[in-house]
Every structure is written in C-alpha cells, then in structure tokens.
Structure 1
Amino acid sequence: MTQIALVTGTSSGMGMHAAVELARRGLQVVATMRDTARADRLHEAAADAGVTVDIRALDVVDHAAAARLVDEITADHGRIDVLVNNAGRGSVATAELLTMGQIQAQLDVNYLAPVNLTKLVLPGMRERGHGSILTVTSVGGTVGQPFADAYCGAKFAVEGFMQSLAATAEHFGVHVRVIEPAAVSSDFVANVERPGDAGAYQPLLDAYVSRTAGAFANAQSPQDAGAAIADAALSDESRFRWQTSEAASRFAGVSLADLDGTRVSAFTRPWTATV
C-alpha cells in the first residue's frame, strides 16, 4: 500500500528536495507552501526526478487551515502515514533587540505549528498502529547560539515537546523524531529577520555575521539534506535524534555531552569576538 506523506515548507531548499525524494521512493506526497504561486521550482525538481507531488497551500501558523487540510488529505487519500514538519523561520537578534511580537512569531512557526500538525495527524496514526512524525529542527535546537535567542528558544522547545511525546507514541507504533541540520545552502538565510540597527551590540553582531557567512560558504547542499530527511522519516530505527550530516552531528554533540554548559560557552564565545 502506498504511503501518504505530508511535508510543509516545500517551496525551496531541503523541504522541496525532501518532498521530491519521498516521492521518488514511492510515497504519495502532499507538499505545502504558503503561496502556491512559488511552486515552479518544486514542479521542476519533481519533473527532473520523474515524479509528481500534490501541491497545496498552507500557512502553518493558521491552525484552522491546517485542520482543514488534514481533513482534505484524509478524504482524498484515506490517511496520513508520514508527517514532515519542515516549515521554519529564522531570526538574528539578541534579547534587547527583539520585540515580543518577533519572539511570538518564532514560537508560532517553529514550535506551535509543528505541535498543531502533530496533534492533528496523531489520532489517525495511533488508531492504525503506525506512523512517522519528523520535525526538522536545527543544531540550534541543541546548541544555544549568539543572536539566535528567539530562534534557538523555539527550536529547543519543539525538541523538548517531541522527545517527550516520542516515549508514549511509540507504544502505538508511531515514531516521533527530530532531525537537526547545520548550515544548508538555501533561501532560509536570505529570509532571516535581522535588526536594522543593533546599537551597542553592532560590533558583536558584525563578528557573528562574518563567522556565519563563512559557515554557509561551506554549507551542505539542500539535496543532501533532503535525502537525510527522507531517510529519517522512513526509518524503522527506534531513534529520536538525527542529523543531516557529519558536521551537524559534531555540532550537536558539543551540547549533548555538556553537563555543566562550559563546553558550549567555549564553543560559541569566539563567534562574537571583535578582536
């Protein structure tokens, strides 16, 4: 029986390639994006791979629209076997530079939207006794980074939610996982929200941006990251945390083995060094 996958945030980057890769592996993929007028690249990538995907509009922060979409997919295809929560939003700013509205926006996209979609698909998966829920987080979900206060906060939150859920969902045959990319070459960086004037923080921000530009100069390709997402979504391993590359595994490992926080501090402190 053909599995049905729902993938969010597929207009470009690793979300687009994950959707195409899942289709290439034989799944019926429903690929969503906020504006389907931006679907040209996905159509082209699917055609190049010799597959088709079902493209639908969804703004993931609209919880009512998400509920309608899940109902529509269930009516059209009978069920949802795989959910990939990929849609995300970046932010570069530290606490004083952030409004509460900007912090809420990070939570809305990176935390509450995946939680809502997970809640929507979970009953059907539980009743059928199988399913896979994969949330694309970030190495920023394990390592708190300078000028990523709101972004990392939301990614930490969604990882905590999913890790807690995983322990109970597995009793019903549902695999709940997260996957943590490091730097991936995509439109994500171009779309990151940044302060116009960082004031006293400007020298630190300039140092951070310079360091980050270097990291993204050697970024993983979105094709490779998309394939890693497909691997994690379809695996039968009882494994919660995945990374998309060896570099991401090394990055995440800095925090996961850091009981007192000193290792992370030593790792990230040079990122804002001004001399």
Structure 2
Amino acid sequence: MKKNVLITGTSTGVGFESALLLARNNYKVYATMRNLKKADALKQCIQEGDLDIEILSLDVTQRDSIASAVNHIIEKDGRIDMLINNAGAGFAKTTEQASEEEIRWVTEVNYHGVVFCTQAVLPHMRKQKSGRIISITSVGGLVGQPFNELYCGAKFAVEGFMEALATYVSDAFNIKISNIEPGGISTEFMASAIGKTAVNGEFATGEYAPIFERYMAGNQKRAGESTEQVYQTGAEVARVVLQVAGNDAPPFRIRTSKWAEDFCRLKTMADPDGTRLIDQIRASFL
C-alpha cells in the first residue's frame, strides 16, 4: 500500500519538486497550496506523468483551511503517513524598518503554520502509532544572518519546536521527526525574499544603507562565484527530502549541501544530525 504524504507550499520550488519526486517513487501525494490559481504547472506534470497527486487548497496561516485539508485526507484514506512542512517565505529587512504587520506575517507563515499543521496531523499519527513529520527549515534556523533576523527568528523557533517534540513523540508513538536545512535556493523563494527588503520602494536607508549594500554585494559575489555550491535548485533539495522520507532511521537534522554543512559547522560539529542531543534530553527528563 502506498504511503500518503501531505505537503504544504507546492506551487513552486522545493514543494513542487518534492511532490513530483515522491509521486514518481510510489507515494500518494496531497499537494497543497494557498492559491490554487498557481497550480497549472503542477497539473500539467501530473497529467503528463500520470502521477498519483491530488491538489488541495491549504493556507498555513488559517487553521480552518488546515483542518479542511487534513479532514479530507482522513475521510478519503483513513490515515496520514507523512507531513512535509514546506510552506514558507523569505524576508530580509531591518527590525527597525519592519512594520508590525510584516513581523506578524513572517512569523505566521514560517513558524505558526508549521505548528498548526503539525498539531492537525498529530492526533491521527498518534492513533495509528506511526508517522513522519519533515520540516523544511533553513541554515537560518541554526545561524543568524544580517537583515534576516525576523526570518531567522521564525526558523529558530521551528527548530526548537521540533527538537522538543521529537524528545517524546518519537519513542512513544513512533512519529519520526526531521528538519531539512538548505542554504540558498534559486527559486521564487529567493526573489520573494529580496522583494520584501524594500521600504516604500527603496532598500535599507539611513545608517543601515551602507551595511545593506555590503550585504547585497556579498550575496551577489557568492552567487556569481559558486552558484552550484551556495544556491541549490528545488529539485536538488527535493532529492534530500526523498532520502529522508525513505530512511527507516532518519536524522533529526540534515543539511542539503556541502556549503550548508560548512556554514553551520560551528553549531553542529558536536552533534551533526541532532540525535545525540535528543537522546540526552530523553535521558535527563524521561
């Protein structure tokens, strides 16, 4: 019997590529997105490849929308084998220049959405005594970076949430949890992040402007000199998703490239995949 997978944010990028790759490898995929008007490319691939993918509406910032998608899958299949928390949005702006609305938005999309989707599937996975929760986080969930403090803060929150959850649901209910941590991804995600740096049509202003200019110049230099190392494609990250999905003993944390591994090394060298720390926490508290 095919295992079924619920993936958020599948209109483009990692979510889009993961939906296709998992379906091609004998998973039944429920590919969700906030705006179904962006589903045309995925629909075409489904038709051309005769893939077992059903597209559903799901807005990770709306609990009713999440519940509707989860209930649909349970009514149809009676179970959810895997949740892939992929939906997210980049954001690069100084804390001073970010509006309250923007701060709430970046947190809702990147953190609260993960919590709410996880909360929605946990009862079903607990009852069936099995499940997998894979979250696409970021190296920004381990290492803070200039002008990305609000985005990094949300991703740090996901890392902490999943780390704490893994300490007890994995053993008690056979729910395996993994965080996949890419570096830069050359998809619409990056364009969106850069687009949201503007303040009234301009980039960082005042005393922040020269710092921001150095930041952007560094990004462009790295992209030009080592695109293959720094910026991965959605398809490359999707291959790591497939690898983790099929692993009977998946790592808690995994970076998706050598660049990402090197970038996080000071944070991860004592426990690269995060499993030693989780074992230590279990031994200390449980």
**Do Structure 1 and Structure 2 share a fold, with TM-score over 0.5?**
yes
Taking structure 1 as the reference length, what is the TM-score of the superposition? Answer: 0.89
Say if 1:20 and 1:49, in contact at 8 Å, map to a contact too: no
* Correspondences of 1:13-24 after superposition (within 5 Å): 13-24=13-24
Superposition deviation, residue 43 in structure 1: 2.4
Q: Are residue 4 (structure 1) and residue 4 (structure 2) matched?
A: yes
- Mapped partners of 1:205, 1:255: distance in 2: 25
| Count of aligned residue pairs for this structure pair | 258
Q: Does 1:210 align with 2:217?
A: yes
Deviation at 1:216, TM superposition (A): 4.1
Alpha-carbon distance, 1:206 to partner: 1.4
Matched residue SS, 1:237: coil
d(CA) in 2 for partners of 1:247, 1:129: 37
| 1:181 has 2:188 as partner | no
Q: In 2, distance between residues paired with 1:215 and 1:137?
A: 21
Shift in Å, 1:187: 0.5
Greater shift, 91-100 or 160-169, is seen at 91-100
Q: Does 1:201 align with 2:202?
A: no
Counterpart amino acid of residue 213 in structure 1: Q
Q: Which whole-Å deviations, capped at 9, do the CAs of 1:236-264 have from their partners, x for residues lacking one?
A: 11520011222222222233349xxxxxx
Matched, 1:102 2:105: no
Task: Write the letter of the residue equivalent to 1:202.
Answer: A
CA RMSD of aligned residues (A): 1.6
Of 230-239 and 127-136, deviating more is 230-239
Give runs of aligned pairs for residues 105-184 of structure 1, distance below 5 A: 105-171=105-171, 172-184=173-185
Structure 2, unmatched stretches of 5+, are: 271-286
In structure 2, distance between residues paired with 1:212 and 1:15? 24
Q: CA deviation at 1:102?
A: 1.3
Determine if the alignment matches structure 1 residue 233 to structure 2 residue 245.
yes
What amino acid is aligned across from residue 221 of structure 1 in structure 2?
A: T
Structure 1 residues 83-94: aligned runs within 5 Å: 83-94=83-94
Q: Distance in 1 between matches of 2:248 and 2:264?
A: 22
Query: Bigger CA drift: 203-212 or 111-120?
Result: 203-212
Task: Give the superposition deviation at 1:80.
Answer: 0.7
Q: Which deviations, in whole Å up to 9, do the C-alpha atoms of 1:113-153 show, x marking residues without a partner?
A: 01111011111111111100001000000010000010000
Identity in percent = 37
Report the TM-score when normalising by structure 2: 0.86
Instruction: Tell me, in whole angstroms, the C-alpha distance in 1 between the residues paired with 2:158 and 2:188.
Output: 22
The change in CA–CA distance for 1:59 and 1:251 in structure 2 (over 3 A counts) is same
User: Relative to 1, partners in 2 of residues 1:60 and 1:216: Cα closer, same or farther, differing over 3 Å?
Assistant: farther
Distance in 2 between the 1:233 and 1:242 partners?
12
Aligned to 1:265: none
Task: Tell whether the 8 Å contact from 2:27 to 2:52 is kept in structure 1 after alignment.
Answer: no
Structure-2 change in CA distance of 1:232 and 1:216 (3 Å): farther
Residues 33, 56 of structure 1: 8 Å contact kept: yes
Q: Look up the match of 2:68.
A: 68
Listed as ranges, the gaps of 5+ residues in structure 1 are 259-275
Contact 1:137 1:179 in 2 (8 A): yes
